[in-house]
Amino acid sequence: MMQLPDHITLFFLFILGASFGSFINVVIYRVPKKMSLIKPGSHCESCKTPIKPYDNIPILSYFILGGKCRNCAAPFSIRYALIEALTAFMTLWLYFIYGINKEFFMYIILTYLAIVITFVDSDHSIIPKNYLLIWIAVMAIGITLGWFLIGSENGVSGGMILTGFLLVIGLNRIFR
Ligand SMILES: [Zn+2]
């Protein structure tokens, strides 16, 4: 692994985490509404004005703009900045636990997915089964390749307990 001074690694990971947080916001907002992730670009929900790249800096832009659209002054929810900060800090936390290795990347994917699932659930009271299937696939690949430090038995039972539980709730809704 490359040897960078730790504070540079932390800074870089924080920026990277916050940027992924920005993308996670888009996923949380758009995927349940079956909107494209790419088009249109970020815009004010109120006046539809596209948000300029310099007004789209994760975490910071909310505070620079005083929580308002630069064009029409409609308020922006602070939740976007909070999710960006949460994602950035979770990224640092995983780095402190694992360093940069395969486990780090596996847990990053699961953690980001968990953030998406949490907020989609809180907004719409749904946990899309596709997210659970991605979760199961990531667990299965990680366990098979030995990329988790946990033994395969614990990994499989842990994965089954979480996703199985959620799937049962989901199936329950379908057959209700
Ligand atoms: Zn606006």
Chain-centre distance of CA 7, in angstroms?
A: 24
Domain ranges of the chain: 1-100
| Residues with C-beta atoms within 5 A of ion ligand 1 | 44, 46-47, 69, 71-72, 74
- pLDDT given at position 152: 65
For ligand 1, the distance from its centroid to the CA atom of residue 46, given in whole angstroms, is: 5
| Alpha helices (runs of H) in the chain, residue ranges in sequence order | 6-30, 60-64, 79-98, 102-124, 129-144, 152-159, 165-174
CA-nearest of 20, 1, 3 to 92 is: 20
Nearest-10 Cα torsion for 49, 50, 55, 59: 100
Q: What is the pLDDT of residues 77-118, one digit of tens each?
A: 999 999 999 999 999 999 999 899 988 999 999 999 999 999
